[in-house]
Structure 1
Amino acid sequence: MSRDANKAFFGHPIGLSTLFASEMWERFSYYGMRALLVLFLTATFASGGFEMAELDAFTIYGIFTGLVYVTPILGGMLADKVLGQRKSIYIGGLTMAVGQFLLAGSAWLYGSDASIEFRQTIFYAGLGILILGNGFFKPNISTMVGELYDNNDPRKDGGFTIFYMGINLGAFISPLITGKLGEQVAWQYGFLAAGIGMVLGTVWFFVRSHTLGHIGMPPKVKAERVRLILKDWFGILLFAVGIVAVVFAVIVGWGAMPETVSKTIIYIVGIGAVIVLATSIFRGTSGKAEWSRIGVILVLALFNILFWGGFEQAGTTFNVFARDNTQRMIGNWEIPASWFQSINAIWIVTCAPLFSILWLKLDKLKINPNTPMKFAWGLIMLSLGFVIMAIAYSRSTGGETLRLVSPLWLIVVFLFHTFGELCLSPIGLSMVTKLSPPKLVSTMMGIWFGSIAAGNFVASQMKAISIKLESALGTEIQVFWLIAIQSAIFALIAIALSPVLKKMMHGIK
């Protein structure tokens, strides 16, 4: 779509408003349950939780938040070759709503005749369905944003930044609602609210789909067709039911398997996925310039892993710090710990328009940093945030007794991390749509989200890594200092590689 097309949404194509709101509600759903996940898992049986050890809850959190970024690889490939982005988004939206309702059910069954094992089965099924549903939704809605613009349209980065505001508007609202309901009413009401949000997002996408024209329609469909037909809807429902059935079958069957068999299956699936992915890239890429640009995406994906390995402490160590180390009382009222998960989103909504304007101003002055340099700045901001967090933790635990610190510490940490996120995350999404070969846009978007998956899992293990280092070295290794130093080192590496990567982009800005 040319830059002279409809500009009815803040100077951008009207279709951006449809994708903005759909993603906002999907992120409401995701971040609402994410804010509750560790708190719910570690809550006592008496309160309706599962009373897990903290590090075990962190691991489940990391596996879940990691896998929700792995499945977009499969969802992207299916969209590119079979389904198209639009059908994939409907499949993802419907299944994720089911997943959230199952999480609510696992909490609702507390106090009934249901066993803890049955509650856990329902809970893990909900997580599994959310993981697969997200794989269909996440890469494809981002891909459709990119298709609203020409590759060299200077509005493209700004469009993704506005889209990113929709993500964070949902992320801001959701912990306030789901956190209040989950922590202070009952866990099931928090998850139920997240499920309703997902339903609203799917309905909005359906009602406003006419604003997207032909974008996202199934492959080989004629250009004049802009709506799905009955056959398409039958396929969507079949996919959704199949996903739910497969997840329950895997959970029931997995527990009955010998450990050696389950490990062998994991290795086979992992190796097979790599082979299929590599084959898809090989067949869809041609010419030196395209291969060079693929290389840039893969290198920046490594920096992406490192960034999210730090940033996603928000749902693990930061969540626990808010609960245990932060002064949360205002008179006789206690702020829910999950509400601190909204701080990053507040800063995003506040600062994203400024960054969108900043990139355009710098571009006009011809001093706009290239994409690798923006990644370096993102890592620098991340490092500075962890320096502040390390100081706050030391102030809280430095004496003989635990001292609760001001909420301002977390607020300032999230500000620096937001600066880093705005330098890296929306820029990364835009970069993938610009550098990917035309036949592989959704596939490469899936790989990009796969790098975020790895970062999420790394984040869940950083606390355990710091404990192991303490044991090995015989000295205290504070996890926040560890991440601060690591991030600073890789920021310097990104700066050093910037000229080389810029050359490899072959004129794409």
Structure 2
Amino acid sequence: MSKSASQSHPKGLYTLFATEFWERFSYYGMRGFFVLYLTATLAKGGFGLEKTEAYSIYGIFTALVYVTPIIGGILADKLIGQRKSIYVGALLMAIGQFIMAMSVTDMHDLFLTRQMALYLGLGLLITGNGFFKPNISTMVGGLYSANDPNKDNGFTIFYMGINLGAFVTNFVGGSLAENVGWQYGFMAAGFGMVVSTIWFFMRETSVVSGETGLPVGLPPKDDPHKKNKLEKKDWTSILAFVVGLTVFSYIIVHFLINVDADIINTVVGIIGIGGLGYLSLTIYQNTEGATQWSRVGVILALAIFNIVFWSGFEQAGTSFNTFANEYTDRNVMGFEIPASWFQSINAVFIIILAPLFTVIWGKLSDMKLNPRTPYKFAWSLVFLAIGFGIMAIANDTYTASNALISPIWLVMVYFFHTVGELCMSPIGLSMITKLSPPKIVSVMMGLWMGSIALGNFFAAQMTAISEYYEFDTFYFITVYALVAAALAFVVSPFLTKMMKGIH
């Protein structure tokens, strides 16, 4: 007789599920209309930027959102633990969203121009996400033992929390932003982070290992046998982190706005090289024996395919968003659907398909036919290519007729991309917690987020690259994804052996 869901999965999973729901409500709500906000005219409250410039800002933002988790993972592992990191991140992101709301109008009384408020808000969102993102995923992994057959399913359930938040938010934040005022969209996102913080605080004691019954995510030096939640001294350090990082971010933004771009690029390059060097050293010092090194090699190899996938998938916030806004017939019985609502289609399919995939992976495991992780990655790239092939045909259809096209085209694209995502993203998160050396699980999760960062950055550059070489963007990504898929299938047998017994 199979166990029920409540018996199979620790209660802490549902605490983290809801915490992530509200964080994703915040992030995807802002992301869904961000490019539209940047490209809206000054008269409509936007910044009046050209598409390529808006895409670039969006790409840098979404890339850095996945770079800072490397630092957040190191700080959690070495200094403050996952729980304190989640609180620091949540509070910083709440402040960041409210400051983004202030970017709609000049706030000279608070020493904030629109540009400063925009970049300060983005900076706090990036920093806060670095503390929050890797550590909540690591805590989900900590609820299960390394070879618990429910672990992949647990991450898939957790992934539904991400997408429930992404689904709801565009109907709330997107509608407020496009139809009432941009600032109200950002304020709704900020409210989401406040709720996320309160929920995690109320349910913190439920986050315990299903195997040992001990609390997960406490500061490294704390004894989990004597303590099951954060104490007053922990909250003192949390608030110190939040205040200090907010002030530091203000100083940095004020400096960057008044500094030559070449100097900024040089400083960023030095920081990037230094960070990569430190990350490499951390991995080297904490990886022991041939088995651990072999598994780390698998993580690094799969990170390359992860970059390829997200460089295509993240067109959702740029070229797909523009396509929905300008080339898609959004009128339904006299009501014009806000373009940001299309960002929820992916989330709808996740909600529908994630339980189905959970059943499929479980049935295949029972039959000993469940594909190993590298093969699932290869299939994800196949589905990505199919989606872009459909998008290329949709674009040709619009060009030939010069008339707005049916939204069904975008729905089909998002369907195939969602299937690819379910073969890639939750599987990747689970894989990191299985294959990483025990001492640096959060660091390796940060590294994984870093590969997504590169994917996001490349996604924003795809249009510029294809235009430079006079390629059609959608056909270009179709071929690019197919080539990567073929390579993934070729190397999968070797990567499977390198996993050393981990499925």
How high is the TM-score relative to the length of structure 2?
A: 0.96
- The number of residue pairs the alignment matches comes to 495
SS of residue in 2 equivalent to 1:9: helix
* Structure 1 segment 308-323 matched on structure 2, within 5 A: 308-323=310-325
1:268 Cα deviation (Å)?
1.8
**2:134 — aligned with what?**
139
CA distance in 2 between partners of 1:441 and 1:83 (Å): 14
1:10 Cα deviation (Å)?
6.8
1:263 Cα deviation (Å)?
3.0
**1:149 — aligned with what?**
144
Structure 1 114/96 Cα, relative in aligned 2: closer, same or farther at 3 Å? Answer: same
Structure 1 440/19 Cα, relative in aligned 2: closer, same or farther at 3 Å? Answer: same
SS of residue in 2 equivalent to 1:273: helix
* Structure 1 segment 151-170 matched on structure 2, within 5 A: 151-170=146-165
Structure 2 residue 110 is matched with structure 1 residue 97: no
Q: CA RMSD in A?
A: 1.6
Structure 1 166/115 Cα, relative in aligned 2: closer, same or farther at 3 Å? Answer: closer
For structure 1, list consecutive stretches of 5 or more residues without a partner in the other structure. Answer: 471-476
**1:410 — aligned with what?**
410
**2:223 — aligned with what?**
222
**2:472 — aligned with what?**
478
* Structure 1 segment 9-48 matched on structure 2, within 5 A: 9=6, 11-48=8-45
Letter in 1 for 2:362: L
1:492 Cα deviation (Å)?
0.5
Letter in 2 for 1:222: D
Decide which of 341, 344, 349 is 1:342's aligned counterpart: 344
SS of residue in 1 equivalent to 2:103: helix
CA distance in 2 between partners of 1:298 and 1:260 (Å): 31
CA distance in 2 between partners of 1:230 and 1:237 (Å): 11
Cα shift readout 1:309-358 (whole Å, capped 9, x = no counterpart): 00000000000000011000112210000000000000000000000111
Structure 1 311/116 Cα, relative in aligned 2: closer, same or farther at 3 Å? Answer: farther
Structure 1 259/124 Cα, relative in aligned 2: closer, same or farther at 3 Å? Answer: closer
Decide which of 85, 88, 107 is 2:85's aligned counterpart: 88
1:270 Cα deviation (Å)?
1.3
1:255 Cα deviation (Å)?
2.8
Decide which of 369, 372, 375 is 2:374's aligned counterpart: 372
**1:490 — aligned with what?**
484
8 A Cα contact 1:8 1:14, kept in partner: no
**2:205 — aligned with what?**
210
**1:240 — aligned with what?**
242
CA distance in 1 between partners of 2:389 and 2:267 (Å): 42
1:115 Cα deviation (Å)?
12
Percent of aligned pairs with the same amino acid: 56
CA distance in 2 between partners of 1:116 and 1:74 (Å): 29
**2:308 — aligned with what?**
306
1:258 Cα deviation (Å)?
4.0
Structure 1 257/371 Cα, relative in aligned 2: closer, same or farther at 3 Å? Answer: same
CA distance in 1 between partners of 2:281 and 2:374 (Å): 27
Cα shift readout 1:215-249 (whole Å, capped 9, x = no counterpart): 00000211221111111100000101111111111
CA distance in 1 between partners of 2:205 and 2:461 (Å): 44
SS of residue in 2 equivalent to 1:84: helix
* Structure 1 segment 359-398 matched on structure 2, within 5 A: 359-398=361-400
Structure 2 residue 431 is matched with structure 1 residue 431: yes
SS of residue in 1 equivalent to 2:410: helix
CA distance in 2 between partners of 1:59 and 1:142 (Å): 28
**2:468 — aligned with what?**
468
Structure 2 residue 503 is matched with structure 1 residue 501: no
**2:448 — aligned with what?**
448
CA distance in 2 between partners of 1:457 and 1:118 (Å): 27
CA distance in 1 between partners of 2:37 and 2:139 (Å): 35
1:117 Cα deviation (Å)?
8.2
SS of residue in 2 equivalent to 1:216: coil
Letter in 1 for 2:492: S
CA distance in 2 between partners of 1:478 and 1:138 (Å): 34
Letter in 1 for 2:94: A
8 A Cα contact 1:61 1:460, kept in partner: yes
CA distance in 2 between partners of 1:20 and 1:94 (Å): 18
8 A Cα contact 1:7 1:14, kept in partner: no
1:259 Cα deviation (Å)?
4.1
SS of residue in 1 equivalent to 2:6: coil
Letter in 1 for 2:309: F
Structure 2 residue 65 is matched with structure 1 residue 68: yes
**1:474 — aligned with what?**
none
CA distance in 1 between partners of 2:298 and 2:280 (Å): 16
1:264 Cα deviation (Å)?
2.8
8 A Cα contact 1:9 1:16, kept in partner: no
8 A Cα contact 1:42 1:51, kept in partner: yes
Letter in 2 for 1:148: L
CA distance in 2 between partners of 1:492 and 1:243 (Å): 45
8 A Cα contact 1:390 1:480, kept in partner: yes
**1:128 — aligned with what?**
123
Letter in 2 for 1:223: P
